[in-house]
Structure 1
Amino acid sequence: MNIMVILKNVKRTDNIIECDYFPENGTSFGHVALDINKQDFVESKCIMANEDVNTRFYYNHVASKLMKISKTDDFKNNNFKSEYMVAWY
């Protein structure tokens, strides 16, 4: 069974990369901001709806994808997408 999360509104401000994320079939979403120089969270929050606790489970996958994006040439040239999908088993 595949599990998926959608990263939307991916943006960069100086050394910060951030996005909103939406778990598949979820009713809640989260927001993550990372300092790409320190490779550490600046902010992370989970907006809960209907007690959908699964959103918290997605933090690590979202953070990992953001760090991978931040290391690409497209990101370094400010030519990256605003939306990504992450799937895993």
Structure 2
Amino acid sequence: YSKGELRIQDLIEKMLATSGNMTVVIRNMVRDGWISRTCDSKDRRSFFLKLTPAGRRKIEEVLPDHIDSIVEALSILEDGEKEDLIRILKKFKNL
């Protein structure tokens, strides 16, 4: 949603997911009309994923509740603990 069109491998890396799991998720999202998949003209083995208008609407529908759930889950942490969590999670970004 916020990153625009991405190669499948880049999405997998950003989400810290496995390719097997993402294959199923991507297949279902294409089936439901939420994303489109196009071949990379520079590398025929790679594909780009892009949200469709229906996918954008779906995210805009569910994102507020998702954010509320995250805020609620993290509300048990004190400010210093939240800062520690952010620092720890940033380490995963570089994997």
- TM-score w.r.t. structure 2 length? 0.28
Q: Which structure has more helix as a fraction of its residues?
A: 2
- Bigger relative contact order (CA 8 A; separation at least 6): 1
Q: Which structure has more strand as a fraction of its residues?
A: 1
Larger Rg: 2
